[in-house]
Chain A
Amino acid sequence: MPLLSVEHLTTHLFTDSGVVRAVDGVSFSLDRGEALGIVGESGCGKSMTALSLMRLVPEPPGRIVGGRVLFQLTATGGPVDLLMLSNEQMRKVRGKRLAMIFQEPMTSLNPVFTIGDQIAEAIKLHEGGSRRQVQSRVVDMLSLVGIPTPAQRANDYPHQLSGGMRQRVMIAMALSCRPEILLADEPTTALDVTIQAQILDLLRRLQAEFGMSLVLVTHDLGVVAEVAQRVIVMYAGKIVEQGTVDQIFRQPLHPYTQGLLKAIPPLAKLPPGTRFATIPGTVPDLAHLPRGCAFADRCPKVRENCRENEVPDDPCNVGRLVRCFYASNP
């Protein structure tokens, strides 16, 4: 029984220029202790998927219009659909069972409260305890995420910390109530490369230590390869390919995944005159998606029926989700 199973999750943004299908029937599952990567270009719906799981889609314009998010909340009972919970019940899940960290550590912390206060707020809310108990938990969390002299640092304000330190604080805050699932939305995108590696190490270490599941949303395939066991590739609000890290990186079957992998800049110096590989074109307007496969306009293997028929999960029977009529090795 998976810890979390998402079925046909559909989130729309109701804008002036039409209905944007940000998340369009996404289904996946997550086991206890598993790390799942969600990758895709900007605007493919990966962040919106994570926000939908938390029920934090900005409303308006967004709204979750369909699907189920089944969470195994108790060890014995059946799974609970998070989308059916009352706001009150959902608040008890948020931050306690299901936590999230965000892309921008510079702006994700409230500038007028100390970091200690902000972490303590979550602990007090979900677990209570005396002032001293909460305070010592705060210091423990800060030292756990590798902040030196945590007792003093707890009294610092966010602007006194560097970006990497702030992201550590965000992680400490998210993990302070020992959630079963951590959603990390581009946690390293705003950081420089050496700090990125440190934060990824930290996430991996804490994931193992807490026995926690991790959903890592990123556009960085390198990050996914390093952290995740399974990968979901999203395009235009849909999952186009799903598989283990090995399958995705060694045997990508969807032309979009193949394009993404080719677009990773090589470390070796390019011979003069050659260009970086790119995927031609841009992501289609999600408010006015073409019929059939959304990737058709950019696909090197496109054929007539791609533009006519909705593509099912696995039309070529490769044994995993590859949303392409002509799935094949490159």
Chain B
Amino acid sequence: MFTYIAKRLLLMIPTILGIAVITFAVVHLAPGDPASLKAQSASEALSSDRMTREIVEGTRALYGLDKPLHVQFAVWLKRIVTLDFGTSYRDHRPVIDKIGDALPITLTLNILTILIIYIVSIPVGAYTALKPKGFVDRASAILFMALYSLPSFWVAMMLIALLCSGDYLNWFPIVGFVSDGASILPWYGWVSNVAWHLVIPIACLTYGGFAFLSRFTRASMLEVIRQDYIRTARAKGLPEWRVAVRHGLRNALIPLLTLMGTLLPALLGGSVIIEQIFSIPGMGRLGFESVLARDYPVIMAIATISAALTLVSILITDIMYAVVDPRITFGKR
């Protein structure tokens, strides 16, 4: 087990390196660079070409963008190995600080979203598998598919118009993660202020997720429920709910672990659309704005960290398989 994990961790190094090369190349292949973007925004004030060129070249020299690409990559790589992600080109704050500001916000949003999706979908999926073609099965299928089909930007606008704008109802704030000045509130006041801000964004993030997970659980549970060991459990005289939960669901959830592998990076990723609409300063917005500004250090940091976390979560998933399914073992054979 231990050697297995060590081996897997070692194998991650070339993978991350490959991802870094590709990300670096893609970012630099995109037209425009921070220097010319900076000059562009200044060019209206400075009409002279010479001045513009000076700004471009000065900025390039400052950030080392005048060097050949492979040298730039080597410099970046050298810093990354010491976990130095550099400073943002836009506001010269350390990248780590910018991510440190955005990450807790996105994590809060995403953890709540995923929890709600799982808490609703797994019981619904399991129940509909036990009573296939029943009312709950049909109704939840139609409802969840309808929700799944609604684009989130549209729903977000509709909810803002209905519940936030004051034209109809004015129940929730339109934008932001927390009110200005909320830090003077006691902790419970602060938490409820955040919760109040998050109701609509989380509603927009969750509603589309029920369909997939509940149908996935249903299919998996249907497969398990016709297994012979379910009949054995019934033959023991176990109550039906115990057969379903202990013998059925436990086995049906094993395939769901595969989905867990995508969970960790998804937790960090953030939704660009929702964060943008509700002006929530999370990871999605940070990444989006960094790409627009060609803020190379931030883009590269986000890409590398997500890549590393994806690999770690795949590893965790594989280890979890061995924990929940005794038939899977590592090493000895």
Binding site for B on A (CB under 8 A): 54, 56, 87, 91-96, 99-100, 102, 104, 107-112, 114, 118, 121-122, 125-126, 157, 159, 170, 173-174
**Given the complex of chains A and B, what is the CA–CA distance between A121 and B235 in angstroms?**
12
7 contacts between A and B (CB under 8 A): A56-B231, A108-B229, A108-B231, A112-B324, A121-B233, A121-B238, A125-B236
Identify which of residues 193-244 in chain B touch chain A, using a CB-to-CB cut-off of 8 Å: 227-229, 231-240
Q: Is B250 an interface residue (CB 8 A)?
A: yes
Q: Is B251 an interface residue (CB 8 A)?
A: yes
A-B contact count (CB 8 A): 70
Q: Is B326 an interface residue (CB 8 A)?
A: yes
Separation in Å of the B49 CB from the closest CB of chain A? 72
Q: Is B327 an interface residue (CB 8 A)?
A: yes
Given known pairs A102-B232, A109-B229, the reply for A157 and B238 (CB within 8 Å) is no
Pick the contact of B325 from A91, A100, A107, A111 — CB < 8 Å?
A111
Binding site for A on B (CB under 8 A): 227-229, 231-240, 247, 250-251, 254, 324-327
Given known pairs A56-B234, A102-B228, A110-B233, the reply for A91 and B239 (CB within 8 Å) is yes
Determine whether the beta carbon of B229 is less than 8 Å from that of A107: yes
Determine whether the beta carbon of A100 is less than 8 Å from that of B237: no
Determine whether the beta carbon of A111 is less than 8 Å from that of B229: yes
Chain B residues with CB under 8 Å of A125's CB are: 236-238
**Given the complex of chains A and B, what is the CA–CA distance between A316 and B239 in angstroms?**
47
Pick the contact of A56 from B235, B324, B325, B327 — CB < 8 Å?
B235
Residue of A nearest to B133 (CB): A60
Determine whether the beta carbon of A108 is less than 8 Å from that of B228: yes
**Given the complex of chains A and B, what is the CA–CA distance between A159 and B237 in angstroms?**
24
Determine whether the beta carbon of A92 is less than 8 Å from that of B237: yes
Given contacts A107-B229, A110-B233, 17 further A-B contacts (CB under 8 A): A87-B240, A92-B237, A94-B234, A94-B235, A95-B236, A96-B237, A102-B228, A102-B235, A104-B228, A107-B228, A108-B229, A110-B232, A111-B327, A112-B251, A157-B327, A159-B326, A173-B236
**Given the complex of chains A and B, what is the CA–CA distance between A94 and B233 in angstroms?**
10
**Given the complex of chains A and B, what is the CA–CA distance between A247 and B171 in angstroms?**
85
**Given the complex of chains A and B, what is the CA–CA distance between A114 and B240 in angstroms?**
21
- Specify which of B231, B234, B237, B240 lies most central, judged by the most chain A CB atoms within 10 Å of its CB: B237
Determine whether the beta carbon of A54 is less than 8 Å from that of B250: no
Residue of B nearest to A176 (CB): B236
Chain B residues with CB under 8 Å of A126's CB are: 237
**Given the complex of chains A and B, what is the CA–CA distance between A118 and B250 in angstroms?**
14
Chain A residues with CB under 8 Å of B234's CB are: 56, 94
Determine whether the beta carbon of A122 is less than 8 Å from that of B236: yes
Separation in Å of the B24 CB from the closest CB of chain A? 44
Residue of B nearest to A121 (CB): B236
Given known pairs A157-B327, A159-B326, the reply for A108 and B232 (CB within 8 Å) is yes
**Given the complex of chains A and B, what is the CA–CA distance between A109 and B250 in angstroms?**
14
Determine whether the beta carbon of A93 is less than 8 Å from that of B237: yes
Determine whether the beta carbon of A95 is less than 8 Å from that of B235: yes
**Given the complex of chains A and B, what is the CA–CA distance between A99 and B233 in angstroms?**
11
Pick the contact of A122 from B237, B325, B327 — CB < 8 Å?
B237
